[in-house]
A and B are shown apart, each in its own frame.
Chain A
């Protein structure tokens, strides 16, 4: 059970949030200009790393805002939380010990 710091509401239990998907996958400007393979890449291909991962969550039971999380998928340490539109932090191997 994670403890996630919503950028607005503060620390809350994971059960208040919903995981979205990998962050920073921008919708192509003109999808019709893409080949099937390029479109499939946008649609289906994800990094799925063991280690730091940038991902998008929403505070479902709270303020309903979407935001980004950098989480180590191996240790579940949350390394950074930042708002939509903000620059992602550089991947580090450091984990927080809350």
Chain B
């Protein structure tokens, strides 16, 4: 295990922790931005029509890979699995749980001689969360897909473009919350650009860091 102080999230250099403390008392901002750093992300490829593959994934992470496009299975507070393509998924788990999940998946999928791929992507992306009554409007400035709750509700996901950056977008709001809470899984090299862009686009509504 590498000492935590040696690990740098893609947005650490922006001093977000200090800002979150300083801005905690801001009220009435239309947008709240935060980084959820160091999540464990595991990319899985396999044949969804093969029951052995599904069973092996279920055995490893206690979640069934969704076959409905643009959906996420599991609760945001625990582990989730996101549809990325007809034979591709992303497992999202809390920091620290990745090694075990990775080992389980590798053991059950690869050592079981299934044709599957398991790849650690934890370091490749970070997660930017955007919430607040104007969050949807801010995203609409950079994202051409329809984010209206009737078209993109909680539990929906999309791989799409936000502000010229490819992201995996997830709606995590409670069903009753029409404003929407969104997670943007973005490649780490793009994270600073995307964060800065989102903060700029949020200015007119008032924004704080959490």
Contact = CB atoms under 8 A, between A and B. Distances in A.
Interface string B142-163: 0011000000000000111100
Q: Which secondary structure dominates where chain A touches chain B?
A: loop
Interface in A41-94: 61-65
Interface in A1-57: 8-10, 12-13, 15-16
Contact of B85 (A10, A61, A63): A63
Contacts of A63: 69, 84-86, 88, 159
B38 to A, nearest CB: 25
Interface residues of A, number: 12
A9 B70 contact: yes
Contacts of A9: 69-70, 158-159
B98 interface: no
Given A16-B160, A63-B84, 13 more contacts: A8-B69, A8-B86, A9-B70, A12-B144, A12-B145, A16-B144, A61-B161, A61-B166, A62-B160, A63-B85, A63-B88, A64-B85, A65-B86
Interface of A: 8-10, 12-13, 15-16, 61-65
16 contacts: A8-B69, A8-B86, A9-B159, A10-B70, A12-B144, A13-B144, A15-B144, A61-B159, A61-B161, A62-B159, A63-B69, A63-B84, A63-B85, A63-B86, A65-B85, A65-B86
